[in-house]
């Protein structure tokens, strides 16, 4: 398995974990905040999408310089992120990427997205929604 194949699989796993992390969330979840110093779930989704766009830009154009995306409603941010992760996964599968770039993308924006998925799961639980247990080892990521 090449570094690109592993990166594409990691992106698929992130998309899967993301849907589990916010499953069953309330309609008001997007605006939930635990303090004035933290991001809301909608703001976190917007940031995650920004990371996806920056990663695609790095792969296709060799830089991270792109304007931040406009913030949308929670549902729109959710849909945009799911579509963005799918698009990113396809780009990683089809565009040749040097192994050292794959490693830096994994240690940078991809694992940053993973961190934010954990934040969303925690916020979803704090907002009163019990996240179901999941055996990610046997999950069908394809």
CATH code of the domain occupying 3-138: 1.20.120
Q: What is the mean pLDDT of residues 71-92?
A: 97
Q: What is the mean pLDDT of residues 46-64?
A: 96
Place of tokens 């961190």: 115
pTM attached to this predicted model:
0.95
The pLDDT tens digits for 87-123 are: 999 999 999 999 999 999 999 999 999 999 999 999 9
Q: What is the mean pLDDT of residues 25-32?
A: 95
Q: What is the mean pLDDT of the chain?
A: 95
């Amino acid at each position: 398995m090449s570094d690109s194949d592993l990166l594409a699989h990691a992106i698929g796993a992130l998309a899967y974990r993301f849907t589990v992390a916010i499953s069953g969330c309330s309609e008001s979840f997007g605006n939930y905040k635990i303090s004035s110093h933290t991001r809301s779930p909608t703001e976190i989704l917007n940031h995650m999408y920004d990371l996806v766009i920056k990663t695609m830009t790095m792969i296709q154009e060799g830089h991270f310089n792109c304007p931040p995306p406009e913030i949308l409603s929670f549902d729109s941010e959710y849909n945009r992120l799911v579509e963005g992760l799918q698009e990113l996964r396809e780009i990683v599968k089809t565009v040749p990427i040097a192994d050292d770039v794959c490693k830096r993308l994994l240690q940078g924006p991809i694992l940053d997205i993973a961190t934010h998925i954990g934040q969303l799961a925690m916020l979803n639980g704090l907002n009163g929604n019990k996240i179901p247990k999941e055996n990610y080892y046997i999950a069908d990521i394809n």
